[in-house]
Structure formats: structure tokens, C-alpha cells
Amino acid sequence: MVYENPDGVKIGLEVHVQLNRLNTKLFCGCSTDYHNDEPNTHVCPVCLGLPGSLPVINERAVEFAIKIGLALNCEIVGQTQFHRKNYYYPDLPKGFQTTQYDYPIASRGKIVIEGEDGERIIRVTRAHMEEDPGRLQHIGTIEKSKGTLINYNRSGMTLIEIVSEPDMRSPKEARRYLDKLRSILDYLDVFNGDLEGAMRVDANVSVFNGERVEVKNISSFKGAERALLYEIMRQKNHVRRGGKIVLETRHFDEARGVTISMRTKEEEHDYRYFPEPDLVPMRVADRVPGILKALPELPDAKRERFISQYGIADMHARALTTEIRVANFYEEVASQVDPKTAAVWVADILKGELNYRDIGIDAFTVEDIVTVIGLVKEDKITEQSGVQIIRTVLDEGGRPQDIVVSKGLLKVEDDIVAKAVEEAVAESPEAVADYLAGKEKSLNFIVGKVMQKTKGRADAREARERVLARISK
């Protein structure tokens, strides 16, 4: 089925990724480990932009940027250069942001997503390096704030801005793009996506070939999806009423789920870009082959390998390769038990229980899931008991082998049940005769005896079936 895109929706995303795995900031030696510290404690003349201070490039940041560019199938520029993007705002005391302009470190890449109608290629326009500004904290809501606090700890952190072409046709596709991007970055180990502000999205959207509107202040992927849904509806209604969409920047109000007009969008010439005189152009081409060689296996490649190597379903392979930690976990499990069974237990059951509790795979061990799978495989416990063990480990702690005993989950051995059925039938000739004469309730008497003899550990329904099979012979 082909997706028609009836409203001519076009979505292009600008994603700012903070490389918080670097130890120091982009142009100075300030530590990046500020997330739990007091405001304005990780600052120096360089990241505060004091006059006379000089930036020195963080070489490892350049390496990370190239790594990201290559992972997004981009071309890496031979020689890159920084520019000054001039604007005045208190989050940027220098009066300009040091960023990249016409020589971005990476350009013309692509990300493959599961689109509305199958696989879809989203083109990546470019990925460039820039410094993060400080963080403004408005007291109250942004429109009627009584005052604003500024924290410069974030100022000068390394950002990679990844800009896509307007190739997405629905909020869902935008969400898939973001998920995929995060997954790739996660594999590269360049950032910790759980830290506040690690990935920030500006969403551009237009309908019916109109002007684009840029929505800022989106704080989560879910927020991006919601902001886009709202904005598409707003634009469509506006156009239907005869209105015209103008190029503007809107703010997403997360609590109310609406976008609010902030300002008309700056044009490029407003920024008066010019080359950063304090940083010389940098030749990076020589570093590319080495970084390319060291690039890890990425989600798409891993998914394909899982399918061919382990013979598992595409759906499972997808679920197992989104997060690198889950993929590694699965491979360890699959080396010890049947890989297909392992896929069901890790992708369907364990991941489901983890998602439900909003916790990561680290909360469970390979050893424990292997034990659970083994118990089910050997028919010592039912599948349902296996799930119960996983839940107990997650909620109360403990080891599966102990929980099996403490919760009495071991299945009663087959021959014990068989023996109990034999005995119960032999001891109840009258009940058997009554049942055969049409008194159905007499069966309960015999089943009760079986349960008594097995101390209640036999499955009642199974016991009933066995008694029936025995006496109707």
C-alpha cells in the first residue's frame, strides 16, 4: 500500500546532539560532568566568552563528529572551518555562536527508517559542529515570565547539529527517524542519551507546499510527535480558512500540547556569518580512513546479521538491535540456549516487562534469563511460571532457582500424577460407576483425590483430563 500523504505534509528535523561522553568542552578544558552540579560552576573565560580569551579545539570532539558523519553515510569534508553566527541573546555572552557554515564536517548522508509504507530513506543534509549556548531558566512560563536565570555550565559543550531534508511525511515518520538516529548514536557511544538535554529537536513542518514553520523547545521524541500533530492540524485549519502560513518560529507548550508564535524566523543574512578568525581551517581528510575502519557494526547491519545467523524473525531482530546493550545481552543468551527461544524470551517477554517498569536491560542478568529458559525447556516449570519468575526478580530481587522453590512453581513430575490417577481410580469404584452411568459430578470426587495425593501441585485441569482418559478407556 502506498502512502498518499493527502495534506502534502513535509517534515525536516534539526537535531542537536550533545556529546556528553567527551571529558571536556569544545573549546576549553572545562569538565562536561556538570549535570548534578551547582549552576555556573563549570565555566572559564573561554566558555563564558570573555574578551581576550582564545578557543582551542577539542581533537576528540572532531573525531566523534567524523564518526557520527560516517555512521550516517555522509561525505566527510576535506578541510573544515568554523564560522561566527552573530546574534544577541543572554544565553550567549560572546554575541556570536561558533559554528560551522559552508564547510560542515559531514554532509549528504541518509538514515533508513520504517516509513508509513515500508522502508524509507531520509536524506541527511549535513551534520556540523557547534558550541552549546548557556541555559536560560524562565521563572514561570516563557510568555509571562517575571525573570530569567542563566546557567553557563552548558555553555561551550560540543553539539553536533544533524539536519535532515524535509523527507518525512508524518509525525510517525519523524518519530521513527528520531528513534533510529538515537539508536545509531547509542551504538557509537558518543553520548549518554539519558542525560538531560542530550538530544534536542527543532521540528520544521509545512503543508500543501506552503512555507515551513519551525517548532522549538521540544523536550522529548514523544513531544516532537505531539507538537507536529498539533502544528499540522493548525496549519491545515488556517489554510482552509483562507489564511497564509508564514515562515516563523513557534514554541511548543508541552503542558498544553499547543504551539505558540514566538517570532518570525531570522533569515540567513541576519546572522552575518563570517569565518572564525581565532580558529584556523582544519584538515580532517587524513583521519577518515582510520575512523571508518574502527566504526562498530551499526543497527541495520546487526539486524541483518541476527536474522541470517540466528534464524530469527525480522520483528524480533528489530526489537533486539535498537539498543546496543540489548543486542549484546541477546547474543550472550543466544550463545547458551537455542537462539530462537532466546529471541522470544528477550524480545517479547523480558523487554516487555522492562518497558512496563521503564527500566533498562541492566536490571536483569544473562545468567538469570538463561536459567529461566532452561527450566521451561526441561519442562520443570510452565512458561507462565517463567514469566512470574522474571517479574519477581525485577520487583523483589532474588535468584530464579530460589524463587522456583519459594513460590512452589516446580511442575509435579509426570509419573507422580500418573500414579495418583491410577490410585484414585482404583480406590473409587463407585464414583467411576456413577460417572459412567451419567452422573458427571462424580468425576470431581476422583479429581479431588488426585489433588490430595499430589498435595495440590498437579494442574487441576490436567488431572481432570487424565482421570477422564483413564476411566473412559
Ligand X SMILES: Nc1ncnc2c1ncn2[C@@H]1O[C@H](COP(=O)(O)OP(=O)(O)OP(=O)(O)O)[C@@H](O)[C@H]1O
Write out the residues near ligand X by the rule CB under 6 A: 10-14, 163-166, 204-206, 212, 214
Q: How far is the CB of 34 from ligand X (least distance, A)?
A: 24
291 in Cβ contact with 66 (< 8 Å): yes
Q: How far is the CB of 123 from ligand X (least distance, A)?
A: 9
Q: How far is the CB of 106 from ligand X (least distance, A)?
A: 14
312 in Cβ contact with 327 (< 8 Å): no
Residue 83 or 449 with smaller CB distance to ligand X = 83
Q: What is the DSSP letter of 405?
A: H
From the list Mg ion, ligand X, none, pick the one residue 133 interacts with, judged by a Cβ distance below 5 to 8 Å according to partner type: none
From the list Mg ion, ligand X, none, pick the one residue 206 interacts with, judged by a Cβ distance below 5 to 8 Å according to partner type: ligand X
**What are the residues whose beta carbons fall under 8 Å from the beta carbon of 254, sequence distance 6 or more?**
217, 219, 223
From the list Mg ion, ligand X, none, pick the one residue 166 interacts with, judged by a Cβ distance below 5 to 8 Å according to partner type: ligand X
Q: How far is the CB of 327 from ligand X (least distance, A)?
A: 29
C-alpha pair distances (Å), 12 with each of 83, 88, 328, 364:
23, 26, 32, 38
Residue 158 or 321 with smaller CB distance to Mg ion = 158
As a whole number of angstroms, the distance between CA 382 and CA 212 comes to 56
Of residues 1, 4, 6, 14, which one binds Mg ion by CB under 5 A?
14
From the list ligand X, Mg ion, none, pick the one residue 164 interacts with, judged by a Cβ distance below 5 to 8 Å according to partner type: ligand X
Residue 267 has phi, psi (to 5 degrees) of -95, 165
From the list ligand X, Mg ion, none, pick the one residue 12 interacts with, judged by a Cβ distance below 5 to 8 Å according to partner type: ligand X
Compute the half-sphere exposure of residue 103: CA atoms within 13 Å on the CB side of its CA: 17
Q: How far is the CB of 79 from ligand X (least distance, A)?
A: 21
Cell matching residue 235: 496549519
As a whole number of angstroms, the distance between CA 137 and CA 196 comes to 14
Q: How far is the CB of 126 from ligand X (least distance, A)?
A: 8
Residue 9 or 373 with smaller CB distance to ligand X = 9
Residue 183 or 206 with smaller CB distance to ligand X = 206
As a whole number of angstroms, the distance between CA 218 and CA 280 comes to 34
Q: How far is the CB of 208 from ligand X (least distance, A)?
A: 10
From the list Mg ion, ligand X, none, pick the one residue 212 interacts with, judged by a Cβ distance below 5 to 8 Å according to partner type: ligand X
Q: How far is the CB of 282 from ligand X (least distance, A)?
A: 21
327-332: Cβ within 8 A, 24+ apart: 327/302, 329/361, 329/366, 330/306, 332/366
Q: How far is the CB of 10 from ligand X (least distance, A)?
A: 4
C-alpha pair distances (Å), 408 with each of 225, 284, 415, 455, 456:
46, 64, 18, 11, 11
As a whole number of angstroms, the distance between CA 435 and CA 198 comes to 71
Contact positions with Mg ion (CB under 5 A) in 191-220: 202
As a whole number of angstroms, the distance between CA 402 and CA 408 comes to 10
Residue 165 or 186 with smaller CB distance to ligand X = 165
From the list ligand X, Mg ion, none, pick the one residue 165 interacts with, judged by a Cβ distance below 5 to 8 Å according to partner type: ligand X
Q: 251-270 mask for Mg ion (x: CB under 5 A)? A: --------------------
Residue 106 or 327 with smaller CB distance to Mg ion = 106
- Considering only the stretches 9-17, 87-95, 147-155, 184-192, report the one whose residues sit in contact with Mg ion under the rule CB under 5 A: 9-17
From the list ligand X, Mg ion, none, pick the one residue 332 interacts with, judged by a Cβ distance below 5 to 8 Å according to partner type: none
Residue 13 or 72 with smaller CB distance to ligand X = 13
Residue 131 or 353 with smaller CB distance to ligand X = 131
Q: What is the DSSP letter of 168?
A: B
Nearest residue to ligand X, by Cβ distance, number only: 12
How many beta carbons lie within 10 A of that of residue 247, not counting itself? 15
In angstroms, the first-to-last Cα distance of the chain is: 56
As a whole number of angstroms, the distance between CA 152 and CA 150 comes to 6
As a whole number of angstroms, the distance between CA 134 and CA 180 comes to 28
Residue 38 or 268 with smaller CB distance to Mg ion = 268
Nearest residue to Mg ion, by Cβ distance, number only: 14
Q: How far is the CB of 9 from ligand X (least distance, A)?
A: 8
Residue 14 or 300 with smaller CB distance to Mg ion = 14
How many beta carbons lie within 10 A of that of residue 42, not counting itself? 24
131 in Cβ contact with 97 (< 8 Å): yes
- Radius of gyration of the chain from its Cα atoms, rounded to whole angstroms: 31
As a whole number of angstroms, the distance between CA 69 and CA 363 comes to 32
From the list ligand X, Mg ion, none, pick the one residue 400 interacts with, judged by a Cβ distance below 5 to 8 Å according to partner type: none
Task: Tell me which residues touch Mg ion (CB under 5 A).
Answer: 14, 202
